[in-house]
Protein backbone atom coordinates (compact mmCIF):
# COMPACT_ATOMS: atom_id res chain seq x y z
CA UNK A 1 0.00 0.00 0.00
CA UNK A 2 2.93 2.37 0.71
CA UNK A 3 6.22 2.05 -1.13
CA UNK A 4 9.27 4.25 -0.79
CA UNK A 5 12.02 3.79 -3.38
CA UNK A 6 15.54 5.22 -3.29
CA UNK A 7 14.60 8.42 -1.51
CA UNK A 8 17.18 11.19 -1.16
CA UNK A 9 16.83 14.54 0.61
CA UNK A 10 19.50 17.08 1.56
CA UNK A 11 19.45 20.45 3.28
CA UNK A 12 22.30 22.86 2.44
CA UNK A 13 24.41 20.00 1.16
CA UNK A 14 23.84 17.84 4.23
CA UNK A 15 22.30 14.49 3.32
CA UNK A 16 19.35 13.77 5.60
CA UNK A 17 17.81 10.90 3.66
CA UNK A 18 20.32 8.87 1.71
CA UNK A 19 18.76 6.15 -0.44
CA UNK A 20 15.83 5.07 1.71
CA UNK A 21 13.68 2.22 0.42
CA UNK A 22 10.96 0.20 2.14
CA UNK A 23 7.36 -0.80 1.77
CA UNK A 24 4.47 -1.10 4.20
CA UNK A 25 1.78 -3.68 3.39
CA UNK A 26 -1.88 -2.92 4.01
CA UNK A 27 -2.87 -2.93 7.67
CA UNK A 28 0.69 -3.05 9.02
CA UNK A 29 2.10 -0.74 11.70
CA UNK A 30 5.67 0.24 10.88
CA UNK A 31 7.69 2.26 13.39
CA UNK A 32 10.66 4.20 12.05
CA UNK A 33 13.22 4.46 14.81
CA UNK A 34 16.23 6.71 15.06
CA UNK A 35 17.99 9.24 17.23
CA UNK A 36 16.84 12.87 17.12
CA UNK A 37 17.82 14.69 13.93
CA UNK A 38 18.19 11.58 11.79
CA UNK A 39 15.49 12.63 9.34
CA UNK A 40 12.51 10.60 10.59
CA UNK A 41 10.13 13.58 10.44
CA UNK A 42 11.55 14.64 7.07
CA UNK A 43 10.83 11.13 5.75
CA UNK A 44 7.25 11.28 7.03
CA UNK A 45 6.72 14.75 5.56
CA UNK A 46 8.01 13.53 2.20
CA UNK A 47 5.60 10.58 2.39
CA UNK A 48 2.76 13.01 3.06
CA UNK A 49 3.83 15.23 0.16
CA UNK A 50 4.49 18.11 2.53
CA UNK A 51 8.12 18.17 1.43
CA UNK A 52 9.62 17.36 -1.97
CA UNK A 53 12.46 14.81 -1.96
CA UNK A 54 15.52 15.48 -4.13
CA UNK A 55 15.28 12.06 -5.75
CA UNK A 56 13.30 8.85 -5.43
CA UNK A 57 9.70 7.75 -5.55
CA UNK A 58 6.89 7.40 -3.05
CA UNK A 59 3.89 5.28 -3.94
CA UNK A 60 0.65 5.66 -2.01
CA UNK A 61 -2.05 3.26 -3.19
CA UNK A 62 -0.37 2.85 -6.59
CA UNK A 63 -0.06 6.61 -7.05
CA UNK A 64 3.42 8.10 -7.29
CA UNK A 65 3.21 11.34 -5.30
CA UNK A 66 6.63 12.99 -5.56
CA UNK A 67 5.85 14.66 -8.91
CA UNK A 68 2.27 15.62 -8.18
CA UNK A 69 1.42 19.33 -8.12
CA UNK A 70 0.11 20.78 -4.84
CA UNK A 71 -3.50 20.71 -6.03
CA UNK A 72 -3.38 16.93 -6.62
CA UNK A 73 -1.46 16.38 -3.40
CA UNK A 74 -4.27 18.07 -1.46
CA UNK A 75 -6.62 15.40 -2.83
CA UNK A 76 -4.20 12.58 -1.89
CA UNK A 77 -3.83 13.96 1.64
CA UNK A 78 -7.58 13.74 2.26
CA UNK A 79 -7.07 9.98 2.41
CA UNK A 80 -4.17 10.10 4.86
CA UNK A 81 -4.39 10.93 8.56
CA UNK A 82 -1.39 12.79 9.99
CA UNK A 83 -0.74 13.19 13.69
CA UNK A 84 1.73 16.02 14.32
CA UNK A 85 4.29 15.94 17.13
CA UNK A 86 2.51 18.64 19.16
CA UNK A 87 -0.93 17.98 17.72
CA UNK A 88 -0.87 21.16 15.57
CA UNK A 89 -4.44 21.99 16.57
CA UNK A 90 -5.86 25.35 15.53
CA UNK A 91 -5.62 27.71 18.53
CA UNK A 92 -8.62 29.73 17.41
CA UNK A 93 -10.93 26.73 17.27
CA UNK A 94 -12.45 24.62 20.03
CA UNK A 95 -11.77 20.90 20.24
CA UNK A 96 -15.08 20.23 18.51
CA UNK A 97 -14.33 22.67 15.70
CA UNK A 98 -10.84 21.21 15.24
CA UNK A 99 -12.15 17.68 14.83
CA UNK A 100 -15.13 18.73 12.73
CA UNK A 101 -12.96 20.83 10.38
CA UNK A 102 -11.98 18.03 7.92
CA UNK A 103 -15.61 16.88 7.75
CA UNK A 104 -16.83 20.40 7.02
CA UNK A 105 -14.17 20.77 4.35
CA UNK A 106 -14.44 17.47 2.55
CA UNK A 107 -17.91 16.05 3.14
CA UNK A 108 -21.48 17.20 2.64
CA UNK A 109 -22.60 15.92 6.04
CA UNK A 110 -25.15 17.99 7.94
CA UNK A 111 -24.50 19.46 11.38
CA UNK A 112 -26.13 16.57 13.23
CA UNK A 113 -24.09 13.93 11.40
CA UNK A 114 -20.90 15.89 12.04
CA UNK A 115 -21.71 16.14 15.74
CA UNK A 116 -22.26 12.38 15.90
CA UNK A 117 -18.98 11.67 14.11
CA UNK A 118 -17.01 14.02 16.35
CA UNK A 119 -18.54 12.42 19.44
CA UNK A 120 -17.66 8.99 18.09
CA UNK A 121 -14.07 10.02 17.31
CA UNK A 122 -13.64 11.46 20.79
CA UNK A 123 -14.94 8.22 22.31
CA UNK A 124 -12.49 6.28 20.18
CA UNK A 125 -9.55 8.28 21.59
CA UNK A 126 -11.01 7.99 25.09
CA UNK A 127 -11.64 11.69 25.55
CA UNK A 128 -15.04 13.11 26.34
CA UNK A 129 -16.45 16.35 27.71
CA UNK A 130 -13.76 18.58 26.18
CA UNK A 131 -15.60 19.58 23.00
CA UNK A 132 -15.99 23.21 24.07
CA UNK A 133 -12.40 23.69 25.27
CA UNK A 134 -9.64 25.39 23.34
CA UNK A 135 -6.28 23.64 22.74
CA UNK A 136 -4.57 25.99 25.22
CA UNK A 137 -6.73 24.48 27.98
CA UNK A 138 -5.58 20.91 27.25
CA UNK A 139 -2.57 18.93 28.46
CA UNK A 140 0.04 17.60 26.01
CA UNK A 141 -1.47 14.12 26.04
CA UNK A 142 -5.00 15.44 25.49
CA UNK A 143 -3.81 17.53 22.54
CA UNK A 144 -2.35 14.42 20.95
CA UNK A 145 -5.60 12.54 21.47
CA UNK A 146 -7.55 15.37 19.86
CA UNK A 147 -4.96 15.42 17.04
CA UNK A 148 -5.47 11.68 16.59
CA UNK A 149 -9.25 12.09 16.56
CA UNK A 150 -8.90 14.79 13.88
CA UNK A 151 -6.57 12.63 11.79
CA UNK A 152 -8.94 9.64 11.70
CA UNK A 153 -12.24 11.52 11.38
CA UNK A 154 -12.39 11.14 7.58
CA UNK A 155 -11.95 7.38 7.91
CA UNK A 156 -8.52 7.39 6.25
CA UNK A 157 -6.95 4.00 5.74
CA UNK A 158 -3.44 5.40 6.10
CA UNK A 159 -2.19 6.99 9.30
CA UNK A 160 1.15 8.77 9.84
CA UNK A 161 2.18 9.67 13.39
CA UNK A 162 5.19 11.91 13.99
CA UNK A 163 6.79 11.23 17.38
CA UNK A 164 3.46 10.63 19.17
CA UNK A 165 5.08 9.98 22.55
CA UNK A 166 7.53 12.90 22.60
CA UNK A 167 7.11 15.21 25.58
CA UNK A 168 4.89 12.77 27.50
CA UNK A 169 5.61 10.94 30.74
CA UNK A 170 6.03 7.11 30.54
CA UNK A 171 2.43 6.40 31.54
CA UNK A 172 0.93 8.85 29.03
CA UNK A 173 3.38 7.56 26.39
CA UNK A 174 2.12 4.04 26.94
CA UNK A 175 -1.50 5.27 26.82
CA UNK A 176 -1.08 7.10 23.53
CA UNK A 177 0.87 4.18 22.00
CA UNK A 178 -1.81 1.76 23.01
CA UNK A 179 -4.46 4.11 21.67
CA UNK A 180 -2.73 4.40 18.28
CA UNK A 181 -2.37 0.63 18.12
CA UNK A 182 -6.04 0.04 18.98
CA UNK A 183 -7.34 2.73 16.62
CA UNK A 184 -5.09 1.55 13.84
CA UNK A 185 -6.10 -2.11 14.16
CA UNK A 186 -9.76 -1.28 14.64
CA UNK A 187 -9.93 0.96 11.56
CA UNK A 188 -7.59 -1.35 9.58
CA UNK A 189 -5.17 1.49 8.94
CA UNK A 190 -1.75 1.14 7.38
CA UNK A 191 0.28 3.08 9.91
CA UNK A 192 3.75 4.61 9.88
CA UNK A 193 5.04 6.04 13.15
CA UNK A 194 8.33 7.82 13.81
CA UNK A 195 9.77 7.51 17.28
CA UNK A 196 12.90 7.21 19.40
CA UNK A 197 11.00 5.53 22.21
CA UNK A 198 12.10 1.87 21.95
CA UNK A 199 9.81 0.34 24.58
CA UNK A 200 6.60 1.78 23.17
CA UNK A 201 7.73 1.25 19.59
CA UNK A 202 8.20 -2.47 20.16
CA UNK A 203 4.81 -2.56 21.88
CA UNK A 204 2.94 -0.88 19.04
CA UNK A 205 4.85 -2.04 15.92
CA UNK A 206 4.39 -4.99 13.63
CA UNK A 207 7.78 -4.10 12.20
CA UNK A 208 10.45 -1.53 12.98
CA UNK A 209 13.06 0.21 10.84
CA UNK A 210 16.14 1.89 12.30
CA UNK A 211 17.58 4.94 10.53
CA UNK A 212 21.16 6.09 10.89
CA UNK A 213 23.02 8.64 8.76
CA UNK A 214 20.06 8.84 6.42
CA UNK A 215 19.96 5.10 5.72
CA UNK A 216 17.86 2.25 7.05
CA UNK A 217 20.38 0.02 8.76
CA UNK A 218 17.96 -2.58 10.15
CA UNK A 219 14.37 -3.54 9.55
CA UNK A 220 12.19 -6.29 10.92
CA UNK A 221 10.01 -7.53 13.73
CA UNK A 222 10.93 -7.00 17.36
CA UNK A 223 12.61 -10.41 17.60
CA UNK A 224 14.53 -9.83 14.37
CA UNK A 225 15.73 -6.45 15.64
CA UNK A 226 16.75 -7.93 18.98
CA UNK A 227 18.65 -10.69 17.22
CA UNK A 228 20.55 -8.24 14.99
CA UNK A 229 24.32 -8.51 15.08
CA UNK A 230 24.78 -4.86 14.12
CA UNK A 231 26.54 -3.06 16.99
CA UNK A 232 24.58 0.19 16.56
CA UNK A 233 21.24 -1.67 16.53
CA UNK A 234 22.22 -3.47 19.72
CA UNK A 235 23.28 -0.24 21.37
CA UNK A 236 20.15 1.61 20.29
CA UNK A 237 17.59 -0.96 21.41
CA UNK A 238 19.19 -1.98 24.70
Report the residue from 62, 91, 110, 235 that binds another protein according to the rule CB under 8 A. Answer: 91
Q: Cβ(20)–Cβ(80) under 8 Å?
A: no
Report the residue from 5, 19, 61, 86 that binds another protein according to the rule CB under 8 A. Answer: 86
Q: Is 164 in the site for another protein (CB under 8 A)?
A: no
* Min separation Cβ 88 and another protein, Å: 4
**CA gap 234, 179 in Å, rounded:** 28
Which x/- pattern over 63-82 shows residues binding another protein (rule: CB under 8 A)? Answer: -------xx-xxx-xx-x-x
Give me the sheet containing 29-33, strands edge to edge.
80-83, 158-162, 190-195, 29-33, 207-212, 215-220
* Min separation Cβ 232 and another protein, Å: 30
Q: Cβ(176)–Cβ(168) under 8 Å?
A: yes
* Min separation Cβ 161 and another protein, Å: 12
Stretch that binds another protein, among 53-61, 86-94, 118-126, 211-219 (CB under 8 A): 86-94
Can you point out the beta strands (E) in the chain?
Answer: 2-11, 14-24, 29-33, 55-60, 63-64, 80-83, 158-162, 190-195, 207-212, 215-220
* Min separation Cβ 76 and another protein, Å: 8
Secondary-structure percent of the chain, ordered helix, strand, coil, rounded to 5: 40, 25, 35
Which x/- pattern over 96-115 shows residues binding another protein (rule: CB under 8 A)? Answer: -----xx--xx---------
Report the residue from 17, 33, 84, 127 that binds another protein according to the rule CB under 8 A. Answer: 84
* Min separation Cβ 93 and another protein, Å: 10
C-alpha distances (whole Å) from 149 to each of 4, 123, 144, 200, 234 are 27, 9, 9, 20, 35
Q: Cβ(40)–Cβ(194) under 8 Å?
A: yes
* Min separation Cβ 158 and another protein, Å: 12
Which x/- pattern over 37-56 shows residues binding another protein (rule: CB under 8 A)? Answer: --------x--x-x------
DSSP tag of 110: -
User: Residues interacting with another protein, by CB under 8 A?
Assistant: 45, 48, 50, 70-71, 73-75, 77-78, 80, 82, 84-86, 88-91, 101-102, 105-106, 150
Amino acid sequence: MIRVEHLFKSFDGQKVLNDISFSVPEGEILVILGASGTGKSVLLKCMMGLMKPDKGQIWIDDKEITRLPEGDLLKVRKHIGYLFQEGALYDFMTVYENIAFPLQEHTALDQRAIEAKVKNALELVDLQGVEGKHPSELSGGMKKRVGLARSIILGSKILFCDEPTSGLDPIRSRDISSLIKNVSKRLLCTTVITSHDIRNSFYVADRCALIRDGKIIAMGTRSQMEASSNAFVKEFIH
